[in-house]
Amino acid sequence: KAADAAWTARNKIEEHKTDVQLGMLERAITLQLRKPTDEQLAAAKAVLAIKDKDQIAALPRLAENYARSMVAAAEGESTLTVKIQAIRIGDIAVCCIPFETFCEIGLELKDKSPLKQTIVVGLANGRHGYLPTPQQHRWGGYETWLGTNKVQEDTSVILVKNLLEMLGELAQAK
């Protein structure tokens, strides 16, 4: 089926260009990892200390998983280096981000990109959890919990800034 779809798409190409501008930039960005508060860590350890099966059964479904995530975050590394990429194919840009990226981030990249069309690819070169915006962190929700978002709260701002700089460089390249 994939080969048939590719063949059909190929046959629909009206013009093949051999002179498009190609380019790719990559950056390694070091981010701070979030750490639980003393209260969060104590609560997590209390959950993990429960041995009574009835008490365990009364916990929310993912309580033990999140408790383990809290302890791991407290004991783990303090930074994470991620790889982001900006790719140019003619007037098309591709932004590669190793997170599950919120739509607001993709829309901002598309709106501010110097290239005609911009595609944002999440979970590229890694998978480091959700990437909420700072506003989303203020609102809260599952994607902002320490177990699902491990990096500093302004990570989306840092990555967007870097990707837009990279797109600007690619747009200026001749």
Model pTM score: 0.88
pLDDT of residue 138: 97
Q: Of all helices (H) and strands (E), which one includes residue 118?
A: strand 117-122
> pLDDT at residue 147 above 90?
no
Token digits for 90? 């003619």
Token digits for 167? 């797109």
pLDDT of residue 158: 98
Q: Please say whether the beta carbons of 101 and 131 come within 8 A.
A: yes
Q: Give me the half-sphere count of Cα atoms (radius 13 Å) on the Cβ side of residue 123.
A: 4
Dump pLDDT digits (tens) for 71-126: 999 999 999 999 999 999 999 999 999 999 999 999 999 999 999 999 999 999 99
